[in-house]
Amino acid sequence: MRPHRTRLQAWLWGEILLAGLLGASLALFVSHPVLRTQYDDPALVLVLATVMSLAGLLIAVLAANRFSVDGLRTDLLLAAGFLVGSLSTAAFAIVPVLGGKPLQPAEAWAAMVGDIMGTALVAAAPFVGGRSR
């Protein structure tokens, strides 16, 4: 029983140290404006949106695979949520910008509504129990 407790305590101290270091780095960037950098490049935003969309699609595939094996409704909602979020980002935030035009307000709203729907599905997943037939 004693080794498990010391391992837990070591992990907690590591988490406390990590939080302290992150807080100190945040304080450093806030106190010295010279250290702040601003990336206003639309291509960087496009790359980040693409990476996030592909990661969400990968998570959706993994959750769908887990649903096909276990049949849990939680996995179904997770897969649907990540799929909706990643596809709405791809369809309404990435594809319209590929032509070089800026994102139009209607497309930005559609992407945001799709992301909210995906987030709502993921947030509802822990509250649904049971197996599907």
Q: How is the chain split among helix, strand and coil, in percent rounded to 5?
A: 85, 0, 15
Percent of the chain at pLDDT > 70 equals 94
Considering the domain architecture, whether residues 33 and 50 belong to the same structural domain is answered as no
Neighbours of 76 (CB within 10 A): 20
Count the domains in the chain: 2
Is 2 within a domain?
yes
Question: Between these two residues, 1 and 93, which has the higher pLDDT value?
Answer: 93
**89-120 tens-digit pLDDT:** 999 999 999 888 888 999 999 999 999 999 99
**44-53 tens-digit pLDDT:** 888 899 999 9
41 Cβ contact partners less than 8 Å away, ≥ 6 residues apart: none
Where in the sequence is the domain holding 25, given as residue range(s)?
1-37
Percent of the chain at pLDDT > 90 equals 62
Question: Between these two residues, 93 and 5, which has the higher pLDDT value?
Answer: 93
Query: Nearest 10 degrees: CA dihedral of 93, 95, 99, 102?
Result: -10
Is 132 within a domain?
no
pTM: 0.70
Considering the domain architecture, whether residues 75 and 25 belong to the same structural domain is answered as no
